[in-house]
Amino acid sequence: MNFSVKLGDNDISKQKVSCIILPIFSDSKLNGPLLKLDKASNGIISNHLNKSHLSSEEGKTFMLSDIDGINADSLLFVGCGKKDNFSPTVLQKALSAAVQVITDTNIRNASSYLSFYLEKSLSSYYASRFSVEAVFSKLYKFDELKSKKSLICKFTKLYIGLPKSSNSKEAKKGIKDGIAISNGMNLAKDLGNRPPNICTPSHLSKEAKKIEKKYKNTKVKILSKIEMKKLGMGAFLSVTQGAAEPPKFIIIEYSGARQSERPIVLCGKGITFDTGGISLKPPGSMDEMKFDMCGAASVMGAMTAVGELQLPINLVALIPACENMPGSSATRPGDIIKTMSGKTVEILNTDAEGRLILCDAITYGLRYKPKSLIDVATLTGACLMALGKYYSGLFSNDKNLAKNLLDAGERSYDFAWQLPVHDVHKKALKSNFADFANIGGREAGASVAAAYLQQFAEDISWAHLDIAGSAWLSNDNKGSTGRPVQLLVDFLLNS
């Protein structure tokens, strides 16, 4: 898919494209591109508005073709609600609706003037970037395992129309970054959507190796079970004891800055299938536990975007990957294990396994003396209950890091919401037999899980993103969302 920027609308009626995409608002008179096209066509837009053919209802579309005075083959109108409420979210919904019509009618190229009307509330950079991301998101298909593949999409070119006053350089950067972020999101979606008999720890290792081959300044190392034992990763290995599939500890190092610059470390939970272990989950929706590696997928997606953009930073991705299965050798409730840090943990629930593999990954990450360490995990149902599918939960011991991540979420519209993690949450992990337990009581489950992880971050700048709600959708729209790749990359772009 190719994208380019068009500044201004003086020649809009003379554009030789298959389709021009335009917004319809309920509370605004014709202006800008709409007004110029109306004049060039002797009032055809006004006429259809007066006859109520053009709806302002969000996502509603109407197409006009072969219009005298306009060189484009067709005009595609998309309802965008009230102009005063026009936002990046509405923009992306409108562009998604437009792309659906375009692909259904085999249109090859188009100009979108939806972003044109966000000039007062959105920078040139984000106007372009959000447009690119919306198109990629709509065009994404996961049919690699179907016997009949989707038809090849003929839509290959989009011109993004922006006001003449827009910053062309920033708009082009938005396109470049949007493509890289979208490629990272597509990888994260693919990994999340693949079934657990294919997307195993070994499969994640192979995908990491592909990243190494594709992007310069990137090195990958895969630690085996034997190497993990030598390192003392007792928490990680306790989770995989019942699984026949061998665990992998995947290390991806990207060096885009001076060697002396401390790296940012990302840790992604990679449970490629989670039965709950001996503390077996109920069978309903257990198929969705293939998504329990979406933390790992999003971290790999972020590394892909960084490699494509060759950002001037040092970045390390740590991915503990394994299955959590029941069996005669599986860890039992009541077992006590020793973590890589030397701390001991009483296992009260084997379904609280994500924190066990992450704590050893965090301890390993300390050796990099990181500028900051961020772990990403589908960790708790409690976070899903608290924030739904809309926000990722954010926990941190560093106010500045938390603010930077929240700001990245606001800018990218990949939102996070900060939840508390305090000493009171650590007290919930009290154990009579070990340094602490792996779960607390029923209250504040997401914060208690974060408090568990915080004890391994020691005194470094640390944040935890609980994406149990945001990482995938269920029901008819079942599938990985690719979140929080947008948030992570926006954070890294501004680090």
Give the pLDDT confidence of 260-301 residue by residue, as tens digits. Answer: 999 999 999 999 999 999 999 999 889 999 999 999 999 999
Q: What are the structural domain ranges in the chain?
A: 2-163, 182-493
Task: Report the share of the chain in percent with pLDDT over 70.
Answer: 100
> Taking residues 372-398, what's their average pLDDT?
98
Give the integer Cα–Cα distance in Å for 62 and 394: 41
Q: What is the mean pLDDT of residues 70-92?
A: 95
Percent of the chain with pLDDT over 90: 94
CB of 397 closer than 8 Å to CB of 468: no
pLDDT at 167: 95
Cβ proximity of 384 and 445 under 8 Å? no
The burial of 103, by beta-carbon neighbours within 10 Å (0-12 exposed, 13-18 middle, 19 or more buried), is given as middle
Q: What is the pLDDT of residues 104-163, one digit of tens each?
A: 999 999 999 999 998 778 999 999 999 999 999 999 999 999 999 888 899 999 999 999
Give yes or no for residue 28 having a pLDDT over 80: no
CATH superfamily, domain 182-493, is Zn peptidases (3.40.630.10)
pLDDT at 254 over 90: yes
CA atoms within 13 A on the CB side of 176: 13
Task: Look at the pTM and tell me if it is higher than 0.85.
Answer: yes
pLDDT in tens, 173-197: 999 999 999 999 999 999 999 999 9
What local confidence, expressed as pLDDT, does residue 426 receive? 97
* The pLDDT of residue 345 is above 80: yes
One-letter amino acid at 74 equals S
Give me the chain's average pLDDT, please: 96
Instruction: Please give the average per-residue pLDDT across 415-421, as a whole number.
Output: 98
Catalytic positions are 281, 355
Rounded-to-integer distance, Cα 132 and Cα 134, Å: 5
Check whether 68 has a pLDDT greater than 90: yes
Mean pLDDT of 359-377: 98
pLDDT at 285: 86
Within 10 A of 214 (CB to CB), how many other CB atoms are there?
11
Instruction: Check for a shared fold between 2-163 and 182-493.
Output: no
Chain centre to alpha carbon of residue 402: 18
pLDDT at 50: 86
pLDDT at 38 over 90: yes
pLDDT at 482: 98
Is domain 2-163 classified as CATH 3.40.50.720? no
Reply yes or no on whether the pLDDT at 348 is more than 90. Answer: yes
Angle, helices 168-193/294-309, rounded to nearest 10 degrees: 150
pLDDT value of residue 121: 82
Looking at residue 151, its pLDDT comes to: 83
Per-residue tokens: 365: 């990450």
| Predicted pLDDT at 125 | 97
Angle CA(11)–CA(13)–CA(17) in degrees, nearest 5? 95
pLDDT at 51: 82
